[in-house]
Amino acid sequence: MITENDAARVFDTVLSIPGMNEPVRMDLKISRKNVLLLSHLIQDGLKIREGSSVLLGSINEKGREELEGISQECLQKAGLIELHEKLAGISASIKG
């Protein structure tokens, strides 16, 4: 059985492979609905509690900032920043 420490080392090794930090240009066409959902998933994933995901737990601050930037860029390109903020406010008020 693989331990959490072993899994963390495997993920760290994979993420350290030469070329993994090189930018990749992607032409992505998705619906606005999926932009909202993707942005929500990225932001929710970045809030994952420590220990609940070995891979996400291994992301450093720079990686978190890059993912957040991708989320914001997608929202901006889709013209959904204001809508996303309003929906986040509604969601936050429901959670308490």
What residue spans define the domains of the chain? 31-95
Q: The pTM is what?
A: 0.77
Q: Which residue intervals of 1-96 are DSSP H helices?
A: 4-15, 32-46, 54-57, 61-78, 81-95
Residue type, 89: G
Write out the two tokens for 33.
């609905």
pLDDT over threshold 90, residue 60 = no
Instruction: State pLDDT tens for residues 27-38.
Output: 989 999 999 999
